[in-house]
Structure 1
């Protein structure tokens, strides 16, 4: 029961329960703490009987109480169990990086006569929750003759104290209520207070047509080489649509678009829409096998492909059309386009699948329209918008840029591929773009570059959990004239379905929004009009305000389902109070101000650098390698900034363990194998060989028993955080210059590796780095080894080696820049 309470309070599955040995052995005499700490991992939906059985199993396995028969702990009364399971409120931002989410102590029944002496009579007893840095919140329960006393404590200031009072008040209300009233009826979380009139009958096509009529000569697409007006983009897309119809493409059919961020790619997507079809955006940087899986799974009848990428399509699609000038030429006769309704699919994108198979999400026109209409207010979308597009074409973040600009009269600004200090500087200061959708990871990298950014229109932050510390840094970095919004939305909910304004961008009219910035993470805000939101427990009942529940969204932005996956669609798209909803799998709570706060996931899905990843898909790809006997792919935190990264633990076939207990792996071979099946962002940052995969009491993978991510996969040992910095570079190693040593030290910080084990040929990306980590690394090298503001020269010196950053190359480039 206690574990279930703690899980509801924090959304974290680990709870510590101290078992006092003196309660079970009267012969024990000691004033010292003789409590046995047991850690329990709780899954949503477990009741108190199941958790108590898990507790007994833990004590039996450890044999500390093996001589005791019966229950290991006094059974807590069922009426308290049921009440606390339904009533525990969440204490915001208390879990952090703790050994457990909470500690729950049960003192059992207290007989006051046992405390009496000839000169002292005990009239009351109080339970004092354990005060420990191991956990953020503590519960203590004492059973008296006619009542049970519950005490709760937590670290923090006035806000936490108020939360504790609210928690106890609600527990008292629920425990004194009947079983019927203890379960709240399903209710809708408040949405954005705007007109909730009839559903819009607009489509993405009709909104684009409005912009063409209103201002045909306005810029629609801005590329590094040219600018295309709405009139010209309309003409090109119309010609593409005409050719699709001539080739027999019918309404509702899926047409793939394999193009980079180009004008032709933008025209192709619009052309598919005009033909009444559904466009499938693909990324030429993804493995050919993944591209072909999406083509086959979607049943694409035709692919519009830029010439350099034709070989990636293979023979999966019966008709391949090259996106060149000829396909955009005028058709001989005026085309007749089919009618398109709001419920028709406009695009399909593929997301990571937990079973190892990506799944295609069908997004309707009504969803895009709702997103854009809400964005007019949230993001200040309109003719002045210049939306910077640097995203992978295959993700819905690219669709956000595409629709936000072209359906509101703004322009989409196409930006270069590689993320580097130079490209980020260009993107923010020279591209002309004034609106960006950035992940928190990228925001962090940008703020560390020290760029003097001009006043921007809007910064939308999404794709990952946004911590308040970074939000405050972003407000200071971008300045008071920039609107900053924290956004939330899975692909199944048409890009973004909830927003929280952090800074208004109008300091003279509105103050900077402070709601949530005093919490650990920034709220995800509220949903747009006509979007019912439900917070439900495992039984489908509404949770009280402040309590953690699973998010369900209804309304126009709910996707049509998973393409060709009726079984999975039935699991995730469900009816709640006669409302067709998407079950997100995300845990959240309603905090003061009727605002949603994201807590975590009910499963293993994770967002890394804004990319949605199911570790199960990566694990399935890794298990397919002939030399892998078994494996597990999990999420760990980077040592430098605490951001999430994937780590693969592998039991290789018939390999003897090394001296440190790990197993030798063919890292290069495993990475090459993964690169054939999954995108680069899904390849684990570290691959570690292990002799076995340890499990917890309830059969789950025991992360605590696995070695921490080290660069053992590249022959580099993990950094010893306790070692003094000046001793971090091996004194017995080859004598290095101060610059080489400084760069190695920076690599150690960014990659969480031991600088003393680095060599000239150590590869940044093989060691687990990615493009954003490379940005941080090069920025630090520029500041500490070269000169502040020297990023441009340093990156120019590394031209041609952007994806092969060895330590020697970075050192030589830094040396050449320093001697200029």
Structure 2
């Protein structure tokens, strides 16, 4: 305790209003409640309260006569051991009054889930806004920061005198103080049972919320639709620099007339605040002279009159405390998730309605005297408020009625083992390596699982998988899952730096490596490489005649690890807006739900033959691997990168009858002059599907083939909505809808303030349900940002995608809320690409944007770089190629002297130069000059290039570089297909495509023309 002589350092006289509340016995208590996740140490909290109270001495006051005096004693922290219901709020600790004689403040700590902290204060010493600076400072101290403090000593009487203007205060509105208003919660009981609170959480932030609430309550509960309300106003608004814990609020009297809309009420409130009308309703200063016994008698008389008449001084006290950042109420090991306040009532006072906004939600509480039926009526009042702010018709969409029980509770591991037992000799895999039966695949997977288990891998172990679309890659995947571990697929085409970054971030303990990549330098220390080919050598050997088919029962008795629904199945890394890739963690529960829904939705069965076209590091590949193998179907492996020749062979000769690919690849296929037969389903996912592309695919594959547009971010396990394209019904659309949610999946459309949009309105998609990811690997900060909870507790993923619900019942994708783009189905955050370029020692700043080129599907990335040293675009491209996946390397990099900015200080992307512009002096890569006369072969190739790049033919000469002209890998494949189709004869196509690697590494017009001539010459020589 401090020296007694120092206690008088902080003191202030009581105001008339404070004296009146002292006369009431201090029974009105201000309480702010913080609920959060994690832990809070009681001792650490006690120390933080002491430090914060030193900076906010108004929390240590005790009354001495008509003055508040700093006691020097920090408020106590009470740890509650009993249950605490944050919904019914009936804990006795909340009803215990704090005396003006002190202590006037205290803190309650309730361990559990959630952890709850309650800041309490006697209303005679502070108001709701005055208590908040102290609460914020307590958490600042817990975070190791200095408290901001609230040292001001003036009281409300003194402050009001400072605010007086010539002409005096505004007049008090008529009827104020008379007991003439019914209570929305019914009459008070003659014998009160203390206060009762009820609470409701509503999604979103709601402008003009006070006007909306009081207008609705007047219409519902006021006599003939009219009503009078007290709206407390913080006087600190007149001096924003003032930091005080004192009671500095005054009630604004707001009248609502019959038929008034909230807009009119809001206008009147703004007008009244502009005229400072809240200063009118002040407590009579002469009450300070009244003895406390007289005040107590006065208070009791008002209470009795209110009970007798069943009338009160207004329809309600309605307080909106504002919006607050939850991080201000968080600390190390504790993250606030909810903040709300509990009000009180005084003599003759109506119910109190308090509102606070935080974390994208609005908390509403009602307080009044307890009595028979009051709780039920309070809930009914909250129903009314909720309907005004968040109408049920907006919150509940019929498309979200997706509840469906799983046909089995088995994991994909068990389902695959059962499938092997049913069909051991059926072909599971086919491709360049030949065919592999289910039993053969099972033997290989068991060999991998047995070795991982022998080395100690199991539940929670992350095993990286560095393999192609191959037998070894598929067997390695199943081996990891059978060991009970989590697989991390990485693309063999990624540079070593990217591999090392992903494996380190995921904490991979092992890396299963296919033979060609065993010497890669991207496997970090601490991650043990295991060569898949060696592990599977014995299992892949032909069975001896008469030998037991041990692959059916397991690898020499190997038993699958027990897999729980919440165990991790895989981790997929996606691009991150902070410059770091994000590892999405998918649990077995989510994967199982997807498999069952997608198998039924896409009609996958034992006759399905589905090619694996996408990279194993792209979660879409899960559709091609899991669905057919768990239904007894066949996976067709395509080891090489898809190009028009390999795709033509696949479509015409492989026996495939189902496809799973991106719209960009479908667009490429649409340029092939073929009519594949026997296809049942084409599943398209990863980008927006244009009707033009879908219609061309429908014509190519035939009317009996379903073109299904699937939507879903990695965070929602591959896909979570689907729509079957209807050529006639969708002909007038620009894009194909994304359809209805999957089983046990919900889609919520919210606006920028996190409010549910009206039917037909555009909103951001928030996904909920069984397919949501656990979160991001080692990124709790991103989990909180990207996986919030709705007001009803539903955990959701914020996609950033905009959509609307169509009158037909499905969803239509309409765009993004941010700069994220899709490149060949892969999600790309331009900020990550820019940050990678900024790692170059010559670069000061990089900006990356996505742009569509005329006549081309999809978008390409373009980078604009400010440099302080000489550097060429080629150097920067090589630098990016060594650190980023190919699809994230910009199609063009421009070194510019300056960046254009908008008036708000942001980079003006529209004003950035076009990298392919012909304007003189543009800041771009070296450009080709006007084309000179050329021979027919060069002219034909140049025309194909111009169409693929979306540039003028005159821009292309022999030195034109396809990549530097803005071409990406997919448009290069489209260019190659066009050259084969329009320039070469059929016999020269094979010879030309044999040089694909050369074309990719040296994609100049001269080189492509030379290869065309060589291929044509070879064809002529063969004919001779």
Structure exhibiting the larger radius of gyration computed from Cα positions: 2
- With over 3 angstroms needed to count, the CA separation of the structure-2 counterparts of 1:699 and 1:184, relative to structure 1, is farther
> Of the candidates 935, 942, 949, which is equivalent to residue 744 of structure 1?
942
> What's 1:534 paired with?
748
* Structure 1 residue 340 displacement after superposition: 0.5
> What's 1:409 paired with?
632
Pairs within 5 Å for 1:24-63: none
> Of the candidates 380, 391, 404, which is equivalent to residue 614 of structure 2?
391
Q: Which moved more, 1:306-315 or 1:512-521?
A: 512-521
> Of the candidates 857, 860, 863, which is equivalent to residue 645 of structure 1?
860
> What's 1:682 paired with?
888
Instruction: Give, in whole Å, the separation in 1 of the partners of 2:523 and 2:960.
Output: 35
Normalised to the residue count of structure 2, the TM-score between the two structures is: 0.58
> What's 1:213 paired with?
421
- With over 3 angstroms needed to count, the CA separation of the structure-2 counterparts of 1:799 and 1:307, relative to structure 1, is closer
> What's 2:847 paired with?
632
1:353 equivalent to 2:592? Answer: no
Cα deviations by residue, 1:647-696 (Å, 9 ceiling, x for unpaired) = 111122256xxxxxxxxx61110011001110111011121222222122
How many residue pairs get matched? 625
Instruction: Give, in whole Å, the separation in 2 of the partners of 1:594 and 1:641.
Output: 31
Q: Which moved more, 1:527-536 or 1:677-686?
A: 527-536
* Structure 1 residue 80 displacement after superposition: 9.9
Pairs within 5 Å for 1:438-477: 438-477=661-700
Instruction: Give, in whole Å, the separation in 2 of the partners of 1:546 and 1:212.
Output: 47
Cα deviations by residue, 1:745-768 (Å, 9 ceiling, x for unpaired) = 332232234544534343323333
Please give the secondary structure, in 1, of the residue aligned with 2:573: strand
* Residues 497 and 527, structure 1, Cα contact 8 Å, conserved in 2: yes
Cα deviations by residue, 1:194-227 (Å, 9 ceiling, x for unpaired) = 7623795221112212211221211111121211
> What's 1:561 paired with?
775
Please give the secondary structure, in 2, of the residue aligned with 1:311: coil
Cα deviations by residue, 1:345-376 (Å, 9 ceiling, x for unpaired) = 11101100111111111111122222221122
Please give the secondary structure, in 2, of the residue aligned with 1:786: coil
> Of the candidates 733, 755, 768, which is equivalent to residue 966 of structure 2?
768
> What's 1:619 paired with?
834
- With over 3 angstroms needed to count, the CA separation of the structure-2 counterparts of 1:309 and 1:183, relative to structure 1, is same
* Structure 1 residue 269 displacement after superposition: 0.8
* Residues 765 and 800, structure 2, Cα contact 8 Å, conserved in 1: yes
* Residues 368 and 403, structure 1, Cα contact 8 Å, conserved in 2: no
> What's 1:54 paired with?
none
Gaps of 5+ in 2: 1-203, 209-260, 268-383, 540-553, 918-922
* Structure 1 residue 615 displacement after superposition: 0.4
Instruction: Give, in whole Å, the separation in 1 of the partners of 2:478 and 2:842.
Output: 46
1:287 equivalent to 2:495? Answer: yes
Instruction: Give, in whole Å, the separation in 2 of the partners of 1:349 and 1:642.
Output: 26
Instruction: Give, in whole Å, the separation in 1 of the partners of 2:589 and 2:468.
Output: 26
Instruction: Give, in whole Å, the separation in 2 of the partners of 1:486 and 1:540.
Output: 27
Pairs within 5 Å for 1:516-527: 516-527=730-741
> What's 2:878 paired with?
672
Gaps of 5+ in 1: 1-43, 49-76, 84-176, 503-511, 656-664, 718-728
> Of the candidates 355, 367, 373, which is equivalent to residue 596 of structure 2?
373
- With over 3 angstroms needed to count, the CA separation of the structure-2 counterparts of 1:404 and 1:621, relative to structure 1, is same
Could you say what the CA RMSD is over the residues aligned between the two structures, in angstroms? 2.9
> Of the candidates 888, 903, 908, which is equivalent to residue 697 of structure 1?
903
Normalised to the residue count of structure 1, the TM-score between the two structures is: 0.72
Instruction: Give, in whole Å, the separation in 2 of the partners of 1:769 and 1:416.
Output: 24
Please give the secondary structure, in 2, of the residue aligned with 1:776: helix
* Structure 1 residue 697 displacement after superposition: 2.7
1:364 equivalent to 2:587? Answer: yes
* Structure 1 residue 288 displacement after superposition: 0.5
> What's 2:391 paired with?
184
Please give the secondary structure, in 2, of the residue aligned with 1:396: coil
Q: Which moved more, 1:311-320 or 1:474-483?
A: 311-320
Pairs within 5 Å for 1:63-102: 79=263
Higher relative contact order by CA 8 Å / sep ≥ 6: 1 or 2? Answer: 1
* Residues 747 and 767, structure 2, Cα contact 8 Å, conserved in 1: yes
> What's 2:449 paired with?
241
Instruction: Give, in whole Å, the separation in 1 of the partners of 2:706 and 2:976.
Output: 29
Please give the secondary structure, in 2, of the residue aligned with 1:635: strand
Instruction: Give, in whole Å, the separation in 1 of the partners of 2:555 and 2:997.
Output: 46
> Of the candidates 1000, 1004, 1009, which is equivalent to residue 806 of structure 1?
1004
1:203 equivalent to 2:411? Answer: yes
Instruction: Give, in whole Å, the separation in 1 of the partners of 2:995 and 2:461.
Output: 48
- With over 3 angstroms needed to count, the CA separation of the structure-2 counterparts of 1:315 and 1:416, relative to structure 1, is closer
* Structure 1 residue 469 displacement after superposition: 1.9
- With over 3 angstroms needed to count, the CA separation of the structure-2 counterparts of 1:742 and 1:332, relative to structure 1, is closer
Please give the secondary structure, in 2, of the residue aligned with 1:575: coil
* Residues 860 and 968, structure 2, Cα contact 8 Å, conserved in 1: no
Pairs within 5 Å for 1:544-583: 544-576=758-790, 577-583=792-798
* Structure 1 residue 783 displacement after superposition: 3.8
Cα deviations by residue, 1:25-79 (Å, 9 ceiling, x for unpaired) = xxxxxxxxxxxxxxxxxxx99989xxxxxxxxxxxxxxxxxxxxxxxxxxxx994
> Of the candidates 480, 504, 515, which is equivalent to residue 272 of structure 1?
480
Instruction: Give, in whole Å, the separation in 2 of the partners of 1:700 and 1:693.
Output: 10
